[in-house]
Structure 1
Amino acid sequence: MISEIVSQLPNLVSLLTELIKELSMVSNWLRHWAPLLGAAAGLVVLYRFFLVGPNLALESEAEAASRPQAFDVMRVTPTMYLENHGRAKAEDIYINIQLNDWEFHRQSDDRPASVLTINENETGYIGSPGRIYEVFVDTVLHRGARFRIFFGGARMERGRTYELEYTVACRGHAEQSGKILYHVGHQDVEVEHTYPGRWLRLKKWIANQWNRLTSDDPELHLAELNEDWLDENTVRITGKIKNITDQRIRYSNVRLEFFEDSIKTENFFQAVPLRMTALDPCEVWKTEATIEFSNAPSPDDIVLRGVVEPNTNKTATPWNGVQLVDHEIDLPTDNDPTIRVHGRIENTNAGTDRPVHLVVKFYNVDGEVIADEDTRKKLEAGEAKDFSMYPAYDSTIRDQIDTGKVVLMG
């Protein structure tokens, strides 16, 4: 028995030698290919958990309405949606919404207007008007789905930015935080989103850049932007924007941005949105706004910039067959500050209903547009309809009005 084992030792040694050689070759192969295998594994994880997983975010819109006498505040109606931007369904959804220094109106309709099954908790801050809303969604949210989860009202001060922070999570997806800013201007509210998750932010950034490269928006020229500090916390802004194209611009957003530049690094701290409507070729739109800050930096440390953002729905011409039959504008006087606009429009199309957008523009003695107001009507085929508008402005605008004009857009 021992002699047989001894006789096989050379074969065993040869086998071990071959095995060591094979292991050495495998080791060399692993040494060369391990980085690629690791990268491939990373791509699989990236694809599985980020690119094809659910990606939730809150989307918000806001409409503004104000009474003529309420020059310092306006009633804003935010609408909030839950949307799945990812490539997989989302289950067991949790949303935490924080309103740190403001709250939605008590009578807001915060019941879900969708097929979602939702449980809610509301927590108030002690000694503060802020609120924390916790929302638990039991319904599966499939890819691309979008549901309204809130529709309500809030009183917001003009010239102020309101912040809404939120956290969203679902099964198989960790918590991610996002932010929504409501920049309140004189007539409108601009909504700015900071989306949760780097991938969604990158996706939105790429989409925005692509839209900028492929859009053919008419150009608006920021002709003038001046600031006059009335005191340490109050500034009066005068800006002029000119339409340098041969097209009418239906409407465009203008944003005044304030930065602190005290330590050679710019820190954004305030934005004021403005909107112009129906700016004709070569026309100049002038705006004057008084903005009050709370705890503002020193005026010497503040940098002001004007950002003009033409809307992609940039030009407008009247619908064929819709005409302004007659109109009359009563301008304000010393005895009667009320502005009255009356007129009549007609749809001469047979068998075709038309929506109509009416804009009344007011000019100063220099021919610059200083204010505008709009309304919408729907005309049935062959119908003629009267319209009335009563634009209300404070005395700083009323005193500058010299002429007015009604513009008909589609």
Structure 2
Amino acid sequence: MATPKEERIDFSAKTKLEIFKRVNTRCSVPRCKNVTLGPYVEHEGALNMGFACHIYSAAGDGPRGRGGQTEEFIRSEKNGIWCCSTHAGLVDKKKGIEFPAAVLFAWKALAEARARKLLDDTPSPLGWVDTIGFSEYGNLITPPRITLSRNTLIYGPNCSGKTSLMEAAASVSDSRYAVMFCGTSKGFHLKYKVQINYSTVDAHNKTLELEICNGSLIRREGRTPYLLPPGDLEVILCSERQTRRKPHEDDVDFLMRYLSIDKTALFYLAEMGGGELLPGDIKFEEAVEDDDDDDDDDDEEEEKIPKKKYKLDGEPYMNLLFRHRGGEFWAHLKYLSRSEYGLLLVSFAASKAHETCKQKLTLFLVDALIFNFDKFNFEKLLSMLSKSDFQSALILPPYQEENILEKSEASVELKKLAYLEQWQLKVLERSEYLNTQGSPMRSAK
């Protein structure tokens, strides 16, 4: 039975104490180091400056609503997050729109994992990527920057830096994306600097800086340069740019390059099939040469023996075959429709993210690869990612704007739709750059 909106479902004193203990008295906001318990200065006893906050609301019409949860869950420790006095007020502002339930549940899990690590050194892959921002971007006046949520939709005009932010972030794990930043100005190579701010179980506030010039990449933490990607953060980017096939690649080579994994990992992911996005089975088989020679009448009645196809290095040429769930026929990857092809590639990358987030903090990014998704498949993608154990950010496809955005002269907001409840919209503005005389100019691209 629904609870009247005026009837609150408050935590008991015992539940508040449980929420408080599970985070070792510290605020649960990832980069906050506030201790919420300490002694009075001139009196006996201890002073508490923290609050047990509801994730789903205590009031029927409160921040984030009830989320269809039972009264038992609403009043339980599972629905509580411990915050300092500053953040306790912040997370409920504007009906909690800026802090969806998925965000607070992720912060709660990270804070509790930190407390457990202090007890018995139990490792955890949990963490939070807070911001991606350029401090130097060629000749741009205002370099792009974004603060991430648990699930983020990025919206903005051309040349607002959407793709640049994603490719720069992806350079954290794969230096190939640094090659995209190879612009020049007046004969000089442009320089780019980007900072990724994130938190892990071991570090409240960590900043990784990437310096990119002429496609070369230097990773730094503080003043220390690192050749290899960080061991505590993985960034996975589904980029249309990386789906452009190279002449020598078979399907195995292509997918290993696209996913930045080895053959063993690829075959493991293939066993999972197409997942929620494209339910079905995947297998690999050796390819055969196409035989178009039908001019020899003497051979018409002879049984033709398939001739295996080989790559330049002598290895068998491998094809990926896909079969829809419940279907009978297998289709080659190259014969899938454009939307099925995109769904399968995103599904492969999402399966990789699901495995990676078991070992380290994982950020999953999607660029133009989803621009041809229809409304049904785009909704299915957002629903799947909102249930995942990793952070995700997508550039909003232009064709989906009408379906999910409420636009006015003053603002752009997400529509009040069930599958968008756990998503936040981040709007980027078109960038300005300096011309050859050093004067500001609006980007025309």
TM over 0.5: no
When the two structures are superposed, what TM-score results if normalisation uses the length of structure 1?
0.24
| Structure with bigger RCO (C-alpha 8 Å, 6+ apart) | 2
Mark the structure with the bigger radius of gyration.
1
More helix by share: 2
